[in-house]
Structures are given as C-alpha cells and as structure tokens.
Amino acid sequence: MTPMRDFSIRTRLMLVISVLLVLLTIVATLSYRGFQSLSHSANDLVDRKVRLALLANRANQHSQTAANHLLRLLLTQERDARVPLYAAMDDALGAADQALKQFEAAGAEKEIAGDMVTLRALRDSYGEAFQETVEQIELAGPHSAKGHFEKETEPALMSLLAATDRLAVTLQDEMQGEAQRLTAEAETAQQRIVIVGLFALLCGAALGGLIARGISTPVNEAAAIAEGIAAGDYSREIPSTGNDEIGSMLRAIGVMRQRIAEREAHITRIAYVDELTDLANRAGFLEDFSRTDRTNGALLLLDIDRFSAINKALGHSIGDAMLRGVAQRLKAVLGEGDLLARLWGDEFVLWLSSADEHNAVGAAERIRSALSEPLTLDGQLLDLDASIGISLFPLDGTELSQLLRRADNALRWAKRRHSGVALASHEDDEQTPEHLSLIGEMRRALTEDHFVVFYQPKLDLKTRRVTGAEALIRWRHPERGLVPPGKFIPFAEQTGFISEITPWLVNRVVRDTARWHREGVQLVISANLSTQDLLNAELIEGIFAALDKEQLPPAALCLEITESALMDEPELALKHLDLLAQHGVKLAIDDYGSGQASLAYVKDLPVHELKIDRVFVTDVDTKPKNAAIVRSTVLLCQELNLSVVAEGAEREGEIKWLTQNGCDMVQGYGVAKPMPMEEFDQWVRKYNQPNSASPL
C-alpha cells in the first residue's frame, strides 16, 4: 500500500486542498504581477513616448509659427508694424525652445541621445540663421533680408522640422516595437498562467484520483469481504492496511469476521455435535447423510442393553463415561465414507456406505464383539451388550426417515428376541398379510368376547398350597381354534393394539380374583404387562379403578414385567411402577435370566417377586450349570427379600430339587397346565382342600 495510507483521509484531503490552494495562489499572483507589469509598461509607453512625440510636434509647431512671423516680418516695411511681430516671434521661439528643453529632459534616454545632439545643433543653426535674418531686416530692410531668409533660415528650419519629424517617426517606431514587446510579454504571461493553471488542474486531478482510489479500493475490498461473510466465506484475505480510517474499518471487519466465524462454529457445533461423545447428533447425522452419495449401504441402529439400569445403579457420570467408551469403540469400525452419530440416550446410528446385507451383519457382529470387551470405568469392570437393527438402502427404503424407522423396528425385534442383531427384512416376516388382517380380527375378538383367560397355578413349595396363579390370554378363534398368545401378542404390541387388550384382561382378572376372594379362595393372581402398558398412565388409573370397584385388596393382584419393559422410557416406567407399588399392587420380574437383567438393578426396583426363566429351571436337577444359576438366584433373592418363582418345571425331579434348594414357588406343567377359569376354579378348590391328596 502507498505510504499515503498512513495518513488519515481527513489529513489527505486537507493536504490536497492546501496544495491546490497554493497552486491557485501562484497562478493568481503570476497573473496579477504579469498584468500589473504590462499596464505599467503600457503607461510608461503612453506617458513617455507619446509625450516626447507631442513635445517634438509642439516644438515644430512653435518653430513654424516663429518662421511664419518671420515671413510676415519680411513683408512688413514699417518699423512700427514690425514691433508686435517681434514680440510674437520671441514668444513662439521661446515656446519652441521650451518644448525642446522639455523634450530633452523627458527623452534623456540613450536611444535618442544622438538624435538630441543633432536636433539641438539644428535648432542652434536655425536660431542663428533666424537671428541673422532679423538683424538684416533691421539693418538692410526686409527686402534684402529676404534673400538671407530663403538661403539660410528657411533651409535650417526645414532641416530642423525634418529632423524633428524623423525623431517623431523613430519614436513612433519604437513605440510600435515596445507595443509588440508588450504583446509578446502578455502572451508569455498568458502561456505561463495557462501552463501553471493546467499544472494545478492536473495536480488536483491526480491527487483527487489518488485519494479517491485510496478510498474506493479498500472500500470495495471491504464490501467484497462483507459479501463473503454473508455468503459464509471467511477465507478472503483482509489486505494489510494503513493507519487511516479505512485501515481501522478493515481491521474492525477482520475482527468482526473472526468473531462471527467463531460464534458460527460454536453454534454449528451445538446444533450438530453431541457434546458428550463428540459425535454428530441427530441433526448432524441428517445433514451428513444428505451429503452422501448413495448407491447402496446399510443403516445400523444400535441400542445398549441395560443402559438405563446401569445408569441408575452406577450413576450418570459412569453412564456418560460408558457412552463415551462406546462412541470410541464404534469409531474404530468406521471406514471411509461411513457415518456415526448418537441419536439420543444410548441409541447410536451408523451408516455403512456401500455395505450389503452380508457386510452389514458382519459389521454388526464385529461391533457387538468390540463392545463386549469389558470396559473399565471408575475402577469397575462393565460388560456391555448391544442390540442392533439393520435396514438396507435401497431395499428397505431410500429416505432416511424410512431407513431409520425400519432399522428401529428391527432393533425392537432384536431386543424382543434377544437376538443381538436383526435385519429390517426380518421384521417384515411379521408383516405378512395374515398379520395385517389380524388387527381387524383382534378388534372383533374383543367386542365378540373371543379372548379368554387361562389360569396356571403357582404352588407354594413350603406350604404345598396353591396361593396364586398366572393369567394367560388365549384367543378362541372361530376358524383357527385356540390361538396361543405368542401368535398375536407380539403383533398387538407392535401395532399398539395391546393398549386395548391389557385393560380388558386386567378387568377380567380383577373381577375373577375378587369373586374368589368373596368365596374364600384367597389367591394372588398375576397378569402380564407389556412395555407400552407400563408407559400408559390411563391403564394404571384403570387398574386402580377396577380394584376399587371390585373391592379387591391391591395385594391380591400381581403384575409381571420384563426388564426390557423398562428400557424405552425408564423414567416414566419407574414412576408408574412406584405408583403401583405404593398402591399395594405386587410386582414381579418375569423371565429373569433370559434377558439382561441383573440383580444389581432389580434390587432398586419396587418389586416383590422374581420369576426364573424356564431355560434355567428345565433339568435343574441334572444340569449343574442351571442348578448353580438357580441356587445363587434363590440365595440373592432371600437376601433381598424377594420371593422366587421357578417357571416351567415339568418333572417331579425338578420340583423336588427346587423345594430342597429353598425356592418359594413353582409354576409349570409339573403342577398344572394353564386352564380356563371354570376349570381352574374347580381345580384349585380341590387342590387346596385340607385332606386332598395333592398330586405331588
């Protein structure tokens, strides 16, 4: 940049204006002085030369007048008549002399000094000749003097007049020369003024242009930078600038741009990045995904098993550290073009570009095995398990929302089946036309009373009495016969229809139980709750209302939940469990051992009973591994004051083993299969008769 830029614009403008003012002053002074000298010279010229010419003329005139008087004298014979003429003649000669003297005094210049000598000589000789003629007139009479006059005086006068005339002409010539010189001088002055004027004009224009450029160039740069900022381009170089106002403006723009960029980066970060794991968040993932080139690929939706339980049992800081650990491990499986984000809570999403079904399942298995390496957090070893749902592009959808939904369904499917990984196409298996017609049929089944409740007894192994039963739903289908719950409950859960089935079942159960109570058959009846049921506040209210209406003590009702029921929205589910427990309703953990539940978190739940899953009970008397699991569970439950129910005991050996190992209750074909209400009613009355011979 020019050194000019070190001065402020104000200073620069003042500088330029000052320079222009000085130049204009010079022009004005030059013109003034030029014209002053011209007028001076002109005055001089008029004064002197004109006066000289005038004096020369006057001298001539007076000389001629004197000569005329002399001529008249020559013609005048009488002496007396000549006397006044002498006087007039003297006057004329005196005046001529006077004029010549003045001429001499005024024209004391070198140029005409020579002429003056000649002129004076001529005047003297004329004067002498004149005097001689006068003397002759007086001595010899006018007539004889006439000859002298013609011979001497007249020629002397002529010479004098001629010389005077010549001098006048010379003076005139000189005057002309002088005038020409003055004209030339005036022209030179004019040219000089024009040149200086033009120079001032050019100077002004150049300086003005320089300043204008010095202002407009950086202002344009500033405008371009501002436009760049508006367009999100922060890379434009800000010119290193001078110390003037524009320099400060550009520096301010630079600072402003930096701040804007920082703030924007911060906002973008907050909007698109998950603070906890540093991965993209949901919005970031949508953004990144929209920018991928897709021909095929797989979307993996991952959910950590038991996360809310771990979070609750070990605290949020461990939970957070765990999520960071998971993020770290997930990052390791990413290839080029793959995306990873945390959608919310413990749910992560991966986009594996160009993965097919085979690759995707392989990647999912790799992720699961990477996660299963125990994680050390705060000195604690944590085993992690995750379920993964996979949807494939373009097979399962081309829109992200579609892919996410399908992957989510697959994830739920994987969780329900404890399969770890599931493809969206599996979830399809359940969406057969047969299933679709099911929903309408289920609705009809409810209104036409085709659902029935079977009761399966629970035997107290210490008292050998049946103290309770589990209510299990069946569908008495007009064409298909008795449909087991496994065939329609999962579908009812998926479609939300479960929210109509459960209230119906609970009402039926409360009604039956209340009747038994009135008739002296004291039973605690269990009903199964699904995940959505636990989030349904209306259902909880409905349960209380039903208990109230039937005047059934709440402790006569037990609700069975699986730990997966607590996964979706643990806060709300727990709130409802607390409400139920406070009301006095009993709660049981169902299928214990098959899922991810651990006693560490079960102990914090307001539950009263634990039902060990059938897989551990089967052959418990012959399989040491099962025996070990059941035994330790029984011991822990005793510690925690939970009653233990063994599910699915079919053989006498199993029941005997369970009795000997301190199990509280048993439920299984070994005691009885689930029965319709009326059948169970008779069965239980008979079984609990004091003198009845129990089958066991």
Residue closer to ligand C2E (CB basis): 237 or 678: 678
Least separation in angstroms between residue 507's CB and ligand C2E is 12
Query: Residue 338 touches which of ligand C2E, Ca ion, none (CB < 5 to 8 A by kind)?
Result: none
Count of Cβ atoms closer than 10 Å to residue 672 Cβ? 21
Least separation in angstroms between residue 560's CB and Ca ion is 4
Which DSSP string do the residues of 218-285 spell out, in sequence order? HHHHHHHHHHHHHTT---SPPPP--SSHHHHHHHHHHHHHHHHHHHHHHHHHHHHB-TTTSSB-HHHH
**Residue 651: strand, helix, or coil:** coil
Least separation in angstroms between residue 519's CB and ligand C2E is 24
Residue closer to Ca ion (CB basis): 122 or 498: 498
CA atoms within 13 A on the CB side of 683: 21
Count of Cβ atoms closer than 10 Å to residue 633 Cβ? 20
Alpha-carbon 622 to chain mean position: 70
Residue closer to ligand C2E (CB basis): 489 or 566: 489
By CB under 6 A, the residues from 568 to 597 that bind ligand C2E are: 590-591
Among 388, 505, 546, 547, binds ligand C2E (CB under 6 A): 505
Gap between the Cα atoms of 361 and 553, Å rounded: 51
Least separation in angstroms between residue 650's CB and ligand C2E is 4
Which range binds ligand C2E by CB under 6 A, 144-152, 338-346, 393-401, 482-490? 482-490
Which range binds ligand C2E by CB under 6 A, 244-252, 276-284, 441-449, 479-487? 479-487
Which range binds ligand C2E by CB under 6 A, 32-40, 153-161, 430-438, 485-493? 485-493
Distant-in-sequence, close-in-space partners of 613: CB < 8 Å, separation ≥ 6:
591, 592, 593, 594, 647, 648
Query: Residue 473 touches which of Ca ion, ligand C2E, none (CB < 5 to 8 A by kind)?
Result: ligand C2E
Burial label, 255 (beta-carbon count in 10 A; 0-12, 13-18, 19+): exposed
DSSP label at residue 48: I
Residues found in the chain: 696
Among 284, 457, 468, 648, binds ligand C2E (CB under 6 A): 648
Which spans of this chain sit near Ca ion (rule: CB under 5 A)? 528, 560, 590-591, 647
Structure tokens at 552: 């059934």
Query: Residue 530 touches which of Ca ion, ligand C2E, none (CB < 5 to 8 A by kind)?
Result: ligand C2E
Query: Residue 505 touches which of ligand C2E, Ca ion, none (CB < 5 to 8 A by kind)?
Result: ligand C2E
Least separation in angstroms between residue 427's CB and Ca ion is 23
Residue closer to ligand C2E (CB basis): 411 or 472: 472
**Residue 694: strand, helix, or coil:** coil
Gap between the Cα atoms of 565 and 570, Å rounded: 8
Contact 117, 176 (CB under 8 A): no
Least separation in angstroms between residue 328's CB and ligand C2E is 37
The reply to whether 485 sits near ligand C2E by the rule CB under 6 A is yes
Distant-in-sequence, close-in-space partners of 455: CB < 8 Å, separation ≥ 6:
469, 470, 471, 472, 512, 525, 674, 675, 676, 677, 680
Gap between the Cα atoms of 350 and 289, Å rounded: 10
Gap between the Cα atoms of 444 and 447, Å rounded: 5
Residue closer to Ca ion (CB basis): 281 or 528: 528
* Positions of E strands within 478-607: 481-483, 524-528, 557-561, 586-592
Residue closer to ligand C2E (CB basis): 152 or 590: 590
Distant-in-sequence, close-in-space partners of 171: CB < 8 Å, separation ≥ 6:
49, 52, 53, 56, 112
Residue closer to ligand C2E (CB basis): 320 or 650: 650
Least separation in angstroms between residue 530's CB and ligand C2E is 4
Structure tokens at 431: 């969406």
Gap between the Cα atoms of 145 and 168, Å rounded: 32
Gap between the Cα atoms of 469 and 522, Å rounded: 11
Among 650, 661, 662, 677, binds ligand C2E (CB under 6 A): 650
- Build a one-symbol-per-residue string for 434-473: x at contacts with ligand C2E by CB under 6 A, - elsewhere: ----------------------x---------------xx
The reply to whether 536 sits near ligand C2E by the rule CB under 6 A is no
Closest CA to 428 of 399, 396, 387: 396
Least separation in angstroms between residue 374's CB and ligand C2E is 30
Gap between the Cα atoms of 294 and 672, Å rounded: 57
Residue closer to ligand C2E (CB basis): 618 or 688: 618
Burial label, 364 (beta-carbon count in 10 A; 0-12, 13-18, 19+): buried
Pairing of strands 386-393, 297-304: antiparallel
The reply to whether 528 sits near ligand C2E by the rule CB under 6 A is yes
The reply to whether 486 sits near ligand C2E by the rule CB under 6 A is yes
The reply to whether 672 sits near ligand C2E by the rule CB under 6 A is no
Query: Residue 199 touches which of ligand C2E, Ca ion, none (CB < 5 to 8 A by kind)?
Result: none
Count of Cβ atoms closer than 10 Å to residue 598 Cβ? 16
Residue closer to Ca ion (CB basis): 441 or 590: 590
Among 674, 680, 687, 688, binds ligand C2E (CB under 6 A): 674
Gap between the Cα atoms of 183 and 366, Å rounded: 109
Which range binds ligand C2E by CB under 6 A, 168-176, 335-343, 484-492, 543-551? 484-492
Residue closer to ligand C2E (CB basis): 277 or 456: 456
Gap between the Cα atoms of 247 and 12, Å rounded: 14
Taking every pair of Cα atoms in the chain, the longest distance, rounded to a whole number of angstroms, is 219
Least separation in angstroms between residue 524's CB and ligand C2E is 15
Residue closer to ligand C2E (CB basis): 192 or 614: 614
Question: Of all helices (H) and strands (E), which one includes residue 139?
Answer: helix 113-148
Least separation in angstroms between residue 439's CB and ligand C2E is 16
By CB under 6 A, the residues from 46 to 75 that bind ligand C2E are: none
Binding residues for ligand C2E, per CB under 6 A?
A: 456, 472-473, 484-486, 489, 505, 528, 530, 560, 590-591, 648, 650, 668-669, 674
